Chain A
Amino acid sequence: MSGISSARGDLRIDHVTKSYGDFTAVNDLSLTIPEGSFFALLGPSGCGKTTTLRMVAGLEEPTKGTISLGNTDITFTKPYQRPINTVFQNYALFPHLTIFENIAFGLRRRGIKDVKEQVEKALDLVELSHLSARKPTQLSGGQQQRIALARAIVNRPALLLLDEPLGALDLKLRRQMQIELKWIQKEVGLTFVHVTHDQEEAMTMADTIAVMNEGEIEQLGSPADLYDNPKTAFVANFLGQSNLIKGTISGNDGDNHIVDLFGQKISLSKNRSHAVDNSILAGIRPEKFRISRLATPTSGNILSGGKIEDVSYIGVSTQYQVLMPWGQELMVFEQNDDGVAPFNVGEDVNISWEAGFTFALRGDEDAEAGTEVNPEEIIEDDE
């Protein structure tokens, strides 16, 4: 079939807004996804990530803004004219067709000649060649997921969209598929745009992650960037866990700020501060903390006066809740690798960490943002 755009190149989403009546699902979103990258749109349900994906696929039309692929504007192009394929959340395999015909569907629509050969190659890639004569309902969830992937990849689209493709799989299979997807992306060299609410999934697979919240992008960067140097409390809490402590910048020392946290001084690298004035939220990831008994000498930033409130042993690490003198409970993950006897509830301890691990957010941010997202309270962004 003719009429399919042959556009290639970076995907550019330019000031795109999508409203449904009074509800704005996506708000003035701008984003460039480089060709060949594995890109993740990460956010809680209702954040607009699926709507964004559907607009790229052509299943929804933006209210405002443009979407282009390379130099071609595809904002209002029909889905069947876009060189873009989607792996749907529930796979959406054709129940009346065999696995072979499911995968061949896109090739046949485009009038490709060597359908058989290409389908077999795609089946090989997902290691399910032996199932080509079956019907989708005869396959397990994990197998259907791979067929959905093969059905999209076989077309060599300029862009492959994955809408929570692993959501329906159990944890073990999900981990395995994450690694496999990443391998397949490298193998075929296509641009993958992956939508997920699972931060671990996004971090495992993507080169670049855009964290979305309420229709806007909170922060964009590599997984390590986002984790080590989050810009907002939402990102700090949504990607992993964070201890956020209210403080004030009280002085400078070369490249560092001196920060007053409830009367105790710590240091913070200036280029890791996203504060706009002296009032800040100092952030430290729980695994960066070290707990020490009062007599033990420590270096780096130190907060003293802690008391162990709770201990949970979880194998690779032990998780502590430490109550600080100002009434805040800090979370500390200690690796079980140093032979130090575990701390007991009620013990008086100090907490220390490498100064370089500290990050700082604006002091007026809600320290709880992104910690608890209840999907049932938010309108699903599917439709």
Chain B
Amino acid sequence: MMSKSGISNPRTPYLLLLPGIAFLFTFFIWPIANLAQTSTQTPIAGGDTGEYEQTLRWANYIDAFLENKEQFGRSFLYAAIATVVALAIAYPLAYAIAFKAGKFKNVLLVLVVAPFFTSFLLRTIAWKQILGEQGVVVPFLRDLHIIAPSTTLTSSAFAVVAGMTYNFLPFMTLPLYASIDRIDPRTLEASGDLYANGITTFRKVTLPLSMPGVVAGTLLTFIPAAGDYVNAAILGSPQTKMIGNVIESRFFKIVDYPTAAALSFTLMTAILVLVTVYIRKAGTEELV
């Protein structure tokens, strides 16, 4: 008779892992290896556009980086600003949902993820309308003389960062909410009882206890934002090009595969290094 418990078969764990490994190999490891290979190729002498041969030219990386320093810097700057602004908006929101919303908690959580019900592209295009000449924002700011009559908001760095902040806000809000919601409100009462006023309680108790959410939220916002090209493509101008836009045009328009691949790898490495330093600094391992 066959054993009912699958655990008794030593091969079971491997069989269970197989679909996942097969998937990751086919759609992650194999393409990455391919990309690595492409990144050191050079054009075939006398060949057609888009024909390359493997020459292990590592200098591709240096050329690609030096050519696009500006876009790299801009990507990380925009992503950083969008992350900070999203954190500033999402933290009070998540706090309010966790502690103050009462019976409206679930409704508010649905509203936070509601934007996902429409396409990312559509929502970004909508921002073009919102910030456009016919929108509400520009005339309003002009009436208040906050911006000059000649100033427009579309095709600007402001629009790109605003679009990224908006698009990645749920990724910031949800982990923050999960983290703040887990805080026992009695520890906050205990802090007040032990002579800490509201601000000190936030600094010494609420914020440290919500750090896992802050770290998760900032990573989930910063990483996709740094590699994003949709916001810059739709809401930006040639002056606000990000590294994602460069990679996109090298791959699909100029068909300069080696440079695109080298840029992709450089971006990946840079993000990996930044994230590692950040996690070390934030000291998440100290948080229970």
Contact = CB atoms under 8 A, between A and B. Distances in A.
A96 interface: yes
Contacts of A109: 194-196, 200
B209 interface: yes
Contact of B187 (A85, A94, A110): A94
A95 to B, nearest CB: 5
Contact of B192 (A4, A78, A90, A152): A78
Which of B192, B205, B211, B288 lies at the interface centre, i.e. has the most chain A CB atoms within 10 A of its CB? B192
A307 B190 CA distance: 57
A223 to B, nearest CB: 28
A89 B187 CA distance: 11
Given A80-B197, A85-B194, A110-B195, A92 B189 contact: yes
A100 B204 CA distance: 15
Contact of B189 (A4, A59, A96, A155): A59
A47 interface: no
A225 B274 CA distance: 71
A56 to B, nearest CB: 11
A315 to B, nearest CB: 40
B285 interface: no
Given A4-B195, A110-B195, A94 B288 contact: no
A155 B204 CA distance: 18
A149 to B, nearest CB: 13
Nearest to A86: B193
A151 interface: yes
Main secondary structure of the interface of B (DSSP, over half): helix
A106 B205 contact: no
Nearest to B188: A92
> Which of A4, A80, A86, A152 is most buried by chain B, counting CB atoms within 10 A of its CB?
A80
B208 A106 contact: no
A106 B150 CA distance: 57
Contacts of A135: 288
A57 B287 CA distance: 29
Interface in A80-116: 80, 84-86, 88-90, 92-96, 105-106, 109-110
A90 B184 contact: yes
Contact of B209 (A57, A85, A95): A95
- Chain A CB within 10 Å — which of B189, B190, B196 has the most? B190
B37 interface: no
Contacts of B288: 95-96, 135, 137
Interface in B206-252: 208-209, 211
A232 B244 CA distance: 80
B186 interface: yes
B190 A94 contact: yes
Residue in B189, B195, B204, B209 whose Cβ sees the most chain A Cβ within 10 Å: B195
B48 interface: no
Interface string A141-160: 00000000001100100000
Interface residues of A, number: 28
A320 B209 CA distance: 56
A300 B56 CA distance: 112
A105 B191 contact: yes
A90 B186 contact: yes
A9 interface: no
Categorize the interface residue count of chain B. 20 to 34
Nearest to B192: A79
Contacts of B189: 59, 79, 86, 88, 92
A1 interface: yes
A268 B209 CA distance: 63
B196 A105 contact: yes
A106 B209 contact: no
B209 A105 contact: no
A78 B197 contact: yes
A155 B195 CA distance: 10
A1 B195 contact: yes
A151 B195 CA distance: 12
Contacts of B190: 86, 88, 92-94
B178 to A, nearest CB: 16
Contacts of A58: 192-193
A59 B201 CA distance: 14
A160 to B, nearest CB: 11
Contact of B286 (A79, A88, A96, A106): A96
A79 B287 CA distance: 27
A86 B195 CA distance: 11
Contacts of B208: 96
A80 B192 contact: yes
Given A92-B189, A95-B209, A105 B184 contact: no
Contact of B191 (A4, A57, A94): A94
- Candidate in B187, B200, B205 with the most chain A CB atoms within 10 angstroms: B187
Contacts of A79: 189, 192-193
Nearest to B205: A94
Contacts of A59: 189, 192-193
Tell which of A84, A86, A96 has the most Cβ of chain B within 10 Å: A96
B194 A88 contact: no
Interface in B175-191: 184, 186-187, 189-191
Nearest to A151: B194
Interface string A1-33: 100100000000000000000000000000000
Contact of A85 (B193, B196, B200, B204): B193
Interface in B73-95: none
A106 B287 contact: no
Contacts of B197: 1, 78, 80
Contacts of A4: 195
14 contacts: A57-B193, A59-B189, A79-B189, A79-B193, A80-B192, A80-B196, A84-B193, A92-B184, A94-B187, A95-B288, A96-B211, A96-B286, A106-B195, A109-B196
User: Which 7 A/B pairs are nearest by Cβ-Cβ distance?
Assistant: A106-B194, A109-B195, A92-B186, A92-B190, A79-B192, A96-B208, A80-B195
Given A95-B209, A152-B194, 9 more contacts: A1-B195, A80-B195, A80-B196, A80-B197, A85-B193, A92-B187, A95-B288, A106-B194, A109-B200
